[in-house]
Amino acid sequence: MLPPKRVTVEVPKLNFFKNFNEIEENLNLHFKLHPEHAIRCVFLRGNPLSITIHPSKPIEISLDSLTSKPKVSMTRKTHHRATHIANTQGLRETLPTLNIAIPGQEPMKNIDTPPPLPAPGQPLMFADLFAGCGGLSLGLSLAGLNGVFAVERDKMAFSTLSANLLQERDVPVAQFSWPDWLEKKAWGIDEILEKHSPKLFELKGKVHVLAGGPPCQGFSFAGRRLESDPRNQLFEKYVEMVKALQPAAIVLENVPGMKVAHKAKSWKELGIQIKPQSYYDKLVESLDRVGYQVLGRILDSSLFGVPQKRPRLIVIGIHKSLALHLQGGVTRAFELLEEVRIKQLQELCLPEIISARDAISDLEIEYAGTKPCTDPSSPAGFQELAYTRPRTHYQSLMHQGAESDMNSVRLSKHKPEIRERFMRIIQDPECAKGVVMHAAQREKYGLKKHRICLMRADNPAPTITTLPDDVLHYSEPRILTVRESARLQSFPDWFQFRGKFTTGGSQRTKECPRYTQVGNAVPPYLARAIGLAIRSLLEEATAAASQQTVTEAEQETLAIA
Catalytic residues: 216
| Geometric angle at alpha carbon 221, from 501 and 500, rounded to 5° | 10
Q: Identify the CA nearest to 210 among candidates 253, 152, 250.
A: 250
- For 406-468, the DSSP string reads -SS-BPP---HHHHHHHHHHHH-TTS-SSSBPPHHHHHHTT---S--EEPPTTSPBPPP-S-G
Distance (Å, whole) CA 553 – CA 561: 12
3-state secondary structure of 371: strand
Whether residue 477 contacts residue 419, with contact meaning beta carbons closer than 8 Å, is answered with: yes
| Strand 146-151, strand 125-129: pairing | parallel
Whether residue 484 contacts residue 392, with contact meaning beta carbons closer than 8 Å, is answered with: no
Q: Which amino acid is at 105?
A: Q
Q: Which amino acid is at 125?
A: M
How far CA 394 is from CA of 189, 410, 436, in Å, comes to 36, 22, 26
**Dmax (CA) of the chain:** 91
Query: To 10 degrees, what angle do helices 234-245 and 279-289 make?
Result: 20
Number of CB atoms found within 10 A of residue 65's CB: 8
List, in order, residues 6 or more apart from 506 with CB less than 8 Å away.
none
Distance (Å, whole) CA 292 – CA 322: 9
List, in order, residues 6 or more apart from 347 with CB less than 8 Å away.
none
Phi, psi of 265 (to 5 degrees): -110, 150
Q: Dump strand ranges (E) for 63-101.
A: 92-94
Whether residue 137 contacts residue 128, with contact meaning beta carbons closer than 8 Å, is answered with: yes
Q: Dump strand ranges (E) for 17-75.
A: 42-45, 50-52, 59-62
Whether residue 524 contacts residue 490, with contact meaning beta carbons closer than 8 Å, is answered with: yes
Give 375-382 contacts, CB < 8 A, sequence gap 24+.
375/407, 375/408, 375/410, 377/498, 377/499, 377/500, 377/501, 378/410, 378/501, 381/413, 382/410, 382/411, 382/413
